[in-house]
Structure 1
Amino acid sequence: MDTFRICIVFLVTNLGILENVNGFKNVALRKPASMNGYRDENPPSLAVDGNATTHIHTPDGPSPPVSWWEVDLLNTYYIFSVSITNRDCCNNRLKNFTVDLISGDSDPITRLCHYYPGNILKSATEVIECDELLTARKVKITMTNRHLDFAEVSIKGLHACGDLQFTLNAGVRRQDTALKQMVVGSTATCAVKCRAEIDCDAFQTMTSADSLTCQLLVGHDGNTANDNNWNYYTFQG
């Protein structure tokens, strides 16, 4: 069975779980983690130990100009969301940070998942969805001019079979008749719907004030038009 068919079978088998975001596997749990400096009693591994009562912490002293923490997922995954739980301290410390995704290629590429402008209150959990559906092997959290400390990171991901990926064509709309059209909760859900549909090779989304329209499309090619209301994704396999 070719790689494409293997991935489709996998997704069809697991679709009932994948449609519920709480059913996604936490692909960061107990994976190797690192950071650019830490106190001996607060190593980077404590952010992925599954225990929200432990926490990581940069070294004591003045706030560093840049602090970062990173987890290696050991495989390439579609990243749907990154949940960060703050420690039971310091309402105003964990704020204004960047979540980046790093590819697992021999020449790694770093892409922005999301910049979080604000603070996470003590003991609170914030679920951060990436601005676009991307794949990554590593997830990195960076903050400037502050100590970096938090309790736990949970990453909702789906294994990217082979290196199959969707390519974004922003501000473009396919004019073909859609295979299926539906309202979904996120771009990630639309992507999963396409991966599970045997005839789907591409999809496109339109965001309105209160919904996201998802259209599944057949074929990699078709008539397109510039339309800032739509984002068109082609399936690369």
Structure 2
Amino acid sequence: MRLMIVTTNLALQLTWGQILENVALKKPALGDSMYSDTSVSQPRYAVDGRTLTDVWHYTCFHSSDYYWIYNPHWWIVDLLRDYTIWEVKITNRNIFPERLNNFTVDIFTGSQDPRTLPNWPNNYGTICHHQPTEDGPLASSETRTLPCASATFGRYVRVVKYGYTSLVMCEVGGCWLVASDR
């Protein structure tokens, strides 16, 4: 038996018994930097499953406020194996919503940690979604589903942001088709 699920602008065709799940939940996450009080801004807070949007409740990743002229702010989660990724959901902070703007979600495949690649972090994996400045930021406390342009196979999901403000996200999750191969 096959089941058709329409999500955003993508249709998923599943065989009975396959499931969609947030495979980023509780997985290892890293960021380029952390806000001055590092205890409240850890990268792992963006995949802890808690949907509170106040940084001071230890539920959001918050990069430093320092502007990196040549290197962007970034956050990355290791899914521990490859998955077919259809969309990514990101939850914004409750204040300063303009900070979650002009960012790209990209996917890296394989067992090599992309941070070991030459020219990191100024190289890109397969682009899943770009949120340009002209589309505006996510609203305060908004959770937005960001569809990939097409199903993307990969292990590492990164959010990268160029600009003069910090990268702040209170939850990063998604609706991914569980698969170990293409």
TM range (shorter): 0.7 to 0.9
Matches of 2:79 and 2:174 in 1, distance apart?
Answer: 9
CA contact (8 A) 1:98 1:115 kept: yes
1:26 aligns with 2:31: no
CA shift digits 1:124-176 (9 cap, x unpaired): 01100100111110100000122001110012212223x3x2xxxxxxxxxxx
Q: Secondary structure at the match of 2:127?
A: strand
1:113 aligns with 2:112: no
CA contact (8 A) 2:60 2:170 kept: yes
- Give the TM-score taking structure 1 as reference length: 0.57
User: What is aligned with 2:150?
Assistant: 132
Matches of 2:179 and 2:96 in 1, distance apart?
Answer: 37
Residue segments in structure 2 that go unaligned for 5+ positions in a row: 1-13, 53-58, 115-123
CA contact (8 A) 1:75 1:159 kept: no
Paired positions, count: 145
Matches of 1:45 and 1:132 in 2, distance apart?
Answer: 27
CA, structure 1 residues 56+107, in 2 after alignment: closer, same or farther (shift >3 Å)?
closer
Q: Letter of the aligned partner of 1:43 in structure 2?
A: Q
Between 1 and 2, higher relative CO (CA 8 Å, sep ≥ 6) is seen in 2
Greater than 3 Å deviation, 4+ residue runs: 105-109
Q: 51, 75, 82: which one pairs with 1:76?
A: 82
Q: 13, 16, 39: which one pairs with 2:16?
A: 13
Residue segments in structure 1 that go unaligned for 5+ positions in a row: 1-10, 19-23, 166-237
CA contact (8 A) 1:52 1:87 kept: no
1:103 aligns with 2:109: yes
- Give the TM-score taking structure 2 as reference length: 0.73
Question: 1:167-182 residue pairs with structure 2 within 5 A?
Answer: none
Q: Secondary structure at the match of 1:92?
A: helix
